[in-house]
Structure 1
Amino acid sequence: MATRDNKKVLKALTKKGFKLHNSNHIKLTLHHNGKKTGLTTWVSHGKQDLGDRMIGIMADQLQLERGEFQDLVDCHISASGLIQLYHEKGVVI
């Protein structure tokens, strides 16, 4: 079972163009060319690791395969690579 540190996921996503909005949970929305996109996911404020189930949920919310999401978090996909990936998938951003 794969797990990811909550803080490392937040840091990796913010480096890729996601902006944070704090409420009951941390909301991350992808911004591209200075504009908000419809791609959003949420993370708990807690310090626990993200389990396999939560990784899958976040990947689905961002319209990514689980492996693509893990590559994004592990910095194998850059911000421009993410935008290119969405274009290849036909995701409107």
Structure 2
Amino acid sequence: MRWHDGPATFSWPFQKYLLVLFLAAAVPLAINGTIEAWFGYRDQHARLDQLLGIQATSAAARIQGFIEHHKRALLVGPASLD
């Protein structure tokens, strides 16, 4: 390398070595990130399904209570339910 040749350049074997090291680190990290995202998505989806099921059951019970209350009000009369 001479000082007057311009910016220093690395030789091809050194560039190849850096590329291999970079790929050896980047590829497993990318694969791990993809797997983590997939399992996180599936876990979040399962939790959301469970939560929505609980909320649907609760809403159905509240609606059933509302209907029963108004059914009794229509049969007996509103004054006797208060």
TM-score if structure 2 supplies the norm length? Answer: 0.17
Q: Which has the higher contact order (CA 8 A, sep 6+)?
A: 1
Structure with greater strand percent: 1
TM-score if structure 1 supplies the norm length? Answer: 0.16
In terms of Rg, which structure is larger?
A: 2
